[in-house]
């Protein structure tokens, strides 16, 4: 797990809502500084290998670039029938070929070594950045998702980026030497390089155009991938078969694949056409140059050979330089920009958190006129929530599905920031508390808990990372969660339940039912001994009402008698038999707080709570 401080159920966290208005994190940074930053990053990690790689790449380029000179000398030697000259040229040619080969082998080895080392450094850099962002909003906003998807795929290719820079340096050197040779014959020949400009323009423009299209249709690509997964993997297998939607999924996947690939193929074809036109211009120029030197200037054969050889090389060099630069622009620059964006984004998140997380709760937690809409959406999920959750209390939140109960819990866990209003923890704005410190004070189980496919003991232990393998602590948590039966059942004659690998796809892994997963998640939530805030978001929905009731009764006693250390327990449940035990009940209705009070208050008030309670009580009796 990448973020030791995040509650295990939370996706490795990241922040955003508070900054949604901040353009600095929304716009992509500019290219040159971003590339410079990425270059520096490589140098910081492997300064010597990076210097050696560039030096060798340049050295390896030289013999190749000077080949045209040797060919010209050979021609002159043949014409003059000068045996020494011919021999020198022939030996030079042989050496040049051998050296080119030898140096490029050595240089490739060194570069690969550099690449391997730097790739690992970069990948962990990206992973660390993603995990350091404190809310999870960037995992959900479609435009950020697409941005991150590109970055993630490109972390893969990042290894090629530096190699590409080295070889670009080599090609530029070859090109420079060739230009000097041509200019020595006649400065007009430098025009050849100008004629190569259209090819440079088209090939550096191509990837940008294709990438724009790719971003526009990235959503279809994501959909196609998702449908493929739904159609072919085990978790969805049962429902796919029972509902018989297999064919439909295949057709939909095909359609969305085409929605993705069609525009891209079109953009590629169009840009290829322009590219061809660019090369045509250069080709005509080259033929013109040879004719010019031979017929117009009437230069000796050796010089015509030099132009022919250097010019022919020029096409290859320009092609390679342009190709490399195109690749650099397409992948390196793009990757660098996204990486710089992520770095800035993560940095802005850390900036405003200047208040230490409290070590104990005084009066409690106040929601002050809190509004909340999920990032990228304008629908208010919570509206003007104004609430005091007193320290030491067990607070129950009730309401219909979609009323915003889980959202309230997520705000309390600082997985998102309120869109408007504040959450005060004993008068300190939660927005100013560093998210990782705050989450150290939290414990609990979330409705959409994660299934950690580890050994059972560890999948519980991650609830309190310092005590990951602390068996007594894990057993205590198991007891608190009433999950002892699950652990016993996982065990066999020769193996303790806690040592059982969860998840059937692993060696010796066992299949675990939803209810069992839920109990394990609950145990994980109970790992921390002294959390300031404990959140329990329908963690026992898979248990029967009586077990849930017993569990909470035990837990509420424990919470209330916490030995002076006041804590707050927030419980979401649909079962009124459990809810009625709470000290305070908050009824959410359509994003607003409808009622607040104790069970008796609310029954007496005869409002929504009283009505729902009566319905359930009648149903159970
Ligand atoms: N990650 C999300 N992005 C966008 N909307 C969400 C997200 N999670 C929940 N919602 C929406 O917010 C509303 C409240 O959801 P939630 O807090 O989970 O309700 P409850 O827990 O009370 O059932 C629902 O309309 C739901 O569709
Ligand atoms: Mg919920």
Selected residue with higher pLDDT from 605 and 24: 605
- In the reported structure, the alpha carbon of residue 401 is separated from the centroid of ligand 2 by a whole-number distance in angstroms of 7
What's the burial of 198, exposed, middle or buried (CB within 10 Å: 0-12/13-18/19+)?
middle
Q: Has residue 76 been placed in a domain?
A: yes
**C-alpha span between 17 and 423 (Å, rounded):** 14
User: What does the pLDDT look like over 97-150, one tens digit per residue?
Assistant: 999 999 989 999 999 899 888 888 888 887 777 776 656 666 666 666 666 666
Residue 312 in this model has a pLDDT that exceeds 90:
no
Q: What is the 3-state secondary structure (H, E, C) of 86-123?
A: HHHHHHHHHHHHHHHHHHHHHHHHHHHHHHHHHHHHHH
Q: Is the CB of 81 under 6 A from ligand 1?
A: no
Q: Has residue 468 been placed in a domain?
A: yes
pLDDT at position 371 is: 93
Residue 226 in this model has a pLDDT that exceeds 50:
yes
Q: Has residue 322 been placed in a domain?
A: no
pLDDT at position 26 is: 61
φ, ψ for residue 537 (rounded to 5)?
Answer: -100, 95
CA nearest to 398, candidates 251, 235, 615, 216: 615
Q: What domain count does the chain have?
A: 4
Name the residue with tokens 């550099």: 114
Pairing outcome for strands 394-399 and 584-589: parallel
383 and 292 housed in the same domain: no
Pocket test for ligand 1, best of 16, 376, 404 (most atoms within 8 A of CB): 404
Tokens of 126: 């990206």
Atom of ligand 1 nearest to the CA of 403: 22
496 and 541 housed in the same domain: no
Host H or E run for residue 382: strand 380-390
Q: What is the 3-state secondary structure (H, E, C) of 11-23?
A: CCCCCCHHHCCCH
Selected residue with higher pLDDT from 291 and 129: 291
Q: Is the CB of 142 under 6 A from ligand 1?
A: no
User: Which pairs from 158-162 meet CB under 8 Å and 24+ separation?
Assistant: 158/118, 158/119, 158/122, 158/123, 158/335, 159/115, 159/116, 159/118, 159/119, 160/115, 160/327, 160/331, 161/38, 161/328, 161/331, 161/332, 161/335, 162/42, 162/50, 162/53, 162/111, 162/114, 162/115, 162/118
Q: Is the CB of 366 under 6 A from ligand 1?
A: no
171 and 271 housed in the same domain: no
427 and 551 housed in the same domain: yes
Cβ atoms of 53 and 166 closer than 8 Å: yes
84 and 153 housed in the same domain: yes
pLDDT at position 16 is: 34
Of all protein residues, whose CA lies closest to atom 12 belonging to ligand 1?
381
Name the residue with tokens 């929605």: 259
- In the reported structure, the alpha carbon of residue 446 is separated from the centroid of ligand 2 by a whole-number distance in angstroms of 9
377 and 516 housed in the same domain: no
What's the burial of 621, exposed, middle or buried (CB within 10 Å: 0-12/13-18/19+)?
exposed
Pocket test for ligand 1, best of 382, 406, 446, 592 (most atoms within 8 A of CB): 406
pLDDT at position 118 is: 86
191 and 180 housed in the same domain: no
What's the burial of 525, exposed, middle or buried (CB within 10 Å: 0-12/13-18/19+)?
buried
What's the burial of 205, exposed, middle or buried (CB within 10 Å: 0-12/13-18/19+)?
middle
Q: Has residue 163 been placed in a domain?
A: yes
Pocket test for ligand 1, best of 402, 449, 573 (most atoms within 8 A of CB): 402
Q: Is the CB of 364 under 6 A from ligand 1?
A: no
Of all protein residues, whose CA lies closest to atom 18 belonging to ligand 1?
406
Q: Has residue 6 been placed in a domain?
A: no
555 and 408 housed in the same domain: yes
Host H or E run for residue 224: helix 218-232
- Ligand nearest, relative to CA of residue 412: 1
Residue 370 in this model has a pLDDT that exceeds 90:
yes
Q: Which domain holds residue 562?
A: 360-441+532-593
Q: What is the mean pLDDT of the chain?
A: 83
CATH number of residue 364's parent domain:
3.40.50.300
- In the reported structure, the alpha carbon of residue 73 is separated from the centroid of ligand 1 by a whole-number distance in angstroms of 78
Angle at 328 between CA 325 and CA 329, to 5 degrees: 90
- In the reported structure, the alpha carbon of residue 179 is separated from the centroid of ligand 2 by a whole-number distance in angstroms of 69
- In the reported structure, the alpha carbon of residue 374 is separated from the centroid of ligand 1 by a whole-number distance in angstroms of 8
Q: Which of 146-150, 269-273, 341-345 is most confident?
A: 269-273
User: What does the pLDDT look like over 200-210, one tens digit per residue?
Assistant: 778 778 888 88
234 and 291 housed in the same domain: yes
Q: Is the CB of 376 under 6 A from ligand 1?
A: no
pLDDT at position 396 is: 93
User: What does the pLDDT look like over 540-571, one tens digit per residue?
Assistant: 776 777 777 877 777 777 666 655 567 888 99
Of all protein residues, whose CA lies closest to atom 25 belonging to ligand 1?
402
- Ligand nearest, relative to CA of residue 586: 1
The residue count of the chain comes to 621
Of all protein residues, whose CA lies closest to atom 9 belonging to ligand 1?
407
Q: Which of 8-12, 123-127, 211-215, 250-254 has the lowest mean pLDDT?
A: 8-12
Q: Has residue 602 been placed in a domain?
A: no
215 and 247 housed in the same domain: yes
Q: Is the CB of 401 under 6 A from ligand 1?
A: yes
pLDDT at position 143 is: 64
195 and 208 housed in the same domain: yes
482: helix, coil or strand? coil
- In the reported structure, the alpha carbon of residue 402 is separated from the centroid of ligand 1 by a whole-number distance in angstroms of 6
- In the reported structure, the alpha carbon of residue 604 is separated from the centroid of ligand 2 by a whole-number distance in angstroms of 27
- Ligand nearest, relative to CA of residue 402: 1
Angle at 495 between CA 489 and CA 500, to 5 degrees: 65
pLDDT at position 415 is: 85
Q: Has residue 429 been placed in a domain?
A: yes
pLDDT at position 155 is: 61
User: What does the pLDDT look like over 516-536, one tens digit per residue?
Assistant: 898 899 999 989 888 889 898
- In the reported structure, the alpha carbon of residue 517 is separated from the centroid of ligand 2 by a whole-number distance in angstroms of 17
378 and 419 housed in the same domain: yes
Cβ atoms of 371 and 398 closer than 8 Å: no
Q: Has residue 1 been placed in a domain?
A: no
Pairing outcome for strands 428-429 and 420-425: antiparallel
Of all protein residues, whose CA lies closest to atom 17 belonging to ligand 1?
404
Atom of ligand 1 nearest to the CA of 401: 23
């Amino acid at each position: 797990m990448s973020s030791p401080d995040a509650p295990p159920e939370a996706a490795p966290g990241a922040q955003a809502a508070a900054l949604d208005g901040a353009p600095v994190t929304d716009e992509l940074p500019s290219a040159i500084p971003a590339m410079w930053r990425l270059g520096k990053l490589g140098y910081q990690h492997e300064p010597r290998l990076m210097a050696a790689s560039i030096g060798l790449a340049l050295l390896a380029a030289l013999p190749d670039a000077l080949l045209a000179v040797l060919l010209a000398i050979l021609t002159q030697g043949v014409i003059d029938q000068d045996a020494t000259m011919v021999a020198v040229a022939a030996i030079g040619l042989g050496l040049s070929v051998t050296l080119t080969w030898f140096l490029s082998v050595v240089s490739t080895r060194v570069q690969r070594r550099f690449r391997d080392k730097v790739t690992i450094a970069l990948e962990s850099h990206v992973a660390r950045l993603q995990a350091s962002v404190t809310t999870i909003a960037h995992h959900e906003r479609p435009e950020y998702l697409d941005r991150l998807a590109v970055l993630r795929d490109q972390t893969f290719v990042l290894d090629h980026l530096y190699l590409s820079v080295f070889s670009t340096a080599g090609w530029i050197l070859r090109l420079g030497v060739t230009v000097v040779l041509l200019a020595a014959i006649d400065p007009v020949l430098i025009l050849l390089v100008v004629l190569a400009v259209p090819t440079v323009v088209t090939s550096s423009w191509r990837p940008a155009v294709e990438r724009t299209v790719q971003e526009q249709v990235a959503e279809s690509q994501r959909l196609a991938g998702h449908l493929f997964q739904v159609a072919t993997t085990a978790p969805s297998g049962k429902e796919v078969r029972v509902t018989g939607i297999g064919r439909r999924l295949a057709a939909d996947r095909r359609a969305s694949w085409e929605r993705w690939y069609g525009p891209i193929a079109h953009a590629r074809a169009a840009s290829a056409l322009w590219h061809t036109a660019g090369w045509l211009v250069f080709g005509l120029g080259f033929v013109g140059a040879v004719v010019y030197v031979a017929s117009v200037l009437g230069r000796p054969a050796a010089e015509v050979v030099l132009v022919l050889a250097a010019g022919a090389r020029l096409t290859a060099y320009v092609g390679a330089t342009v190709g490399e630069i195109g690749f650099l622009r397409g992948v390196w620059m793009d990757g660098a920009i996204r990486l710089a964006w992520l770095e800035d984004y993560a940095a802005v998140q850390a900036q405003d958190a200047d208040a230490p997380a409290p070590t104990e709760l005084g009066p409690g937690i106040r929601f002050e006129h809190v509004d909340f809409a999920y990032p990228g959406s304008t629908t208010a999920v919570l509206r003007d929530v104004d609430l005091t959750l007193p320290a030491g209390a067990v607070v129950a939140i009730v309401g219909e599905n979609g009323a915003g109960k889980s959202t309230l819990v997520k705000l309390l866990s600082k997985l998102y920031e309120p869109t408007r209003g504040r959450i005060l923890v004993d008068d300190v704005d939660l927005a100013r508390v560093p998210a990782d410190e705050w989450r150290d004070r939290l414990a609990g189980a979330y409705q959409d808990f994660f299934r950690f496919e580890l050994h059972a003991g560890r999948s519980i232990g991650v609830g309190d990372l310092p005590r990951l393998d602390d068996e007594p602590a894990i057993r205590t948590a198991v007891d608190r969660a009433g999950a002892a039966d699950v652990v016993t059942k996982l065990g066999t004659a020769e193996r303790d339940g806690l040592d059982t690998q969860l998840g059937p796809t692993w060696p010796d892994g066992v299949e675990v039912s939803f209810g069992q997963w839920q109990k394990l998640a609950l145990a994980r939530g109970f790992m921390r001994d002294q959390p300031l805030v404990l959140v329990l978001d329908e963690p026992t929905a898979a248990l029967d009402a009586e077990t849930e009731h017993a569990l909470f009764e035990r837990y509420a006693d424990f919470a209330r008698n916490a030995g002076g250390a006041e804590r707050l327990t927030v419980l979401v449940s649909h079962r009124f038999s459990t809810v009625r035990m709470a000290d305070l009940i908050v009824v959410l209705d359509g994003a607003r707080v409808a009622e607040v009070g104790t069970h008796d208050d609310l029954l007496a008030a005869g409002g929504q709570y009283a009505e729902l309670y009566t319905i359930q009580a009648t149903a159970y009796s």
